[in-house]
Amino acid sequence: MVLDVITTGAVNWDVNLFIESIELQGMEAPVKRITRVPGGKAANVAVAAARLLGPGRVGILGAVGNDEIGRSHMEIFAKEGVSTDHLLVVNGSESGQAYILVDSRGRNQIFTHFGANASLTADMAKSLKIASVLHNSKVLVAMDPPLDYTAELFAEAGKDCTIIWGPGVRTINNQEKVLSMLGYVDYLLLNQQELFVLTGKATAEMGYEMLSSYSDSLKLLVTLGEEGAAIHSRAGVIKAGGVDLSKGGYTVVNTVGCGDAFVGCFAASLASGLEESQALTRANYAGAFKSTKYETRGSPTSDELDEFARKLNSS
């Protein structure tokens, strides 16, 4: 199967608890609203890309349990047009689950049970079927899967596709391993906290200089929250500034999944042949759009994204 984008990493079921403030530690906090929705970074990115590219052009490489949650994921992916040909169903394991606190300011705190996601191993990455799909894909997005699995996967992919890697929590206590894998990567995706954990540098400019010493061709794709995003490379810096939602009458209601909408759009835009700067700007709008939606997978369709950007730019 030829795919424009294939994602790999966590497939979770999210239980979102909406409360007044995350800072009320040690106190009983009333829950104002509960939502139970599909999530997981790799799954969210796949759906975000598929909503922009259309059915049959995006695939998910991961694992779910042989349980009700796993079956729900399969049905939802089918409706979203995401291929599950390489989604492993694991007997005797629960599907991954995440419990997320979201406060009235849109801030969040996440507690994750990995479940079947822990089945992503180096041996799985060596599968001939997986190698085949990687060699026939334009863009591979790896969202913090286990490092041994990721290393084998990147080796299998080689230079046949563009690799976007968001190591996420894997940057903690694994700096040497992460740095040793940068030679495979085209875009290293980090937020500001992850950048500091991995490099010990206070700014993206300083962090990039350190990271590029491991791979001269590496590009750093850094998300800056309300300040937007940037790409750092040997050619210079490309920036997309913060989006002022108030211009279009929008407000932030939930930031969970904004980064996933961002990278899904960035990957889809690259696969569609857009220039890097165009892909960054479009992805920045997609992340902002998601922040106005309560659901984790509140990423836009192509028409929704165009209308959102038009409304903000005409205000």
Q: Domains along the chain?
A: 3-314 (3.40.1190.20)
For 53-62, the pLDDT digits (tens) are: 999 999 999 9
pLDDT at 158: 78
**Residues pairing with 34 in the sheet:** 17
β-pair partners for 240:
229
39 with 16: CB under 8 angstroms? no
Q: Confidence band (pLDDT; 50, 70, 90) for 132?
A: confident
pLDDT class for 102, splitting at 50, 70, 90? confident
Q: 46 Cβ partners below 8 Å, 6+ apart?
A: 5, 7, 58, 59, 60, 77, 80, 82, 264
Mean pLDDT for the chain? 92
Q: Check pLDDT > 70 for residue 315.
A: no
For residue 23 the two structure tokens come to 């800072």
Distance CA 91, CA 83 (A): 21
What residues pair up with 163 in beta bridges, in sequence order? 140
Residue 98 tokens read as 């995440």
pLDDT tens, residue by residue, 192-225: 999 999 999 989 999 999 999 999 999 999 999 8
- How does DSSP assign 59-95, residue by residue? EEEEEEESSHHHHHHHHHHHHHTEEEEEEEEETT-PP
Give the burial class of 71: count Cβ atoms within 10 A of its Cβ; 0-12 exposed, 13-18 middle, 19 or more buried: middle
- Please say if the pLDDT value at position 128 is more than 70: no
CA 52 to chain centre: 15
Residue 254's pLDDT band (cuts 50, 70, 90): confident
pTM: 0.91
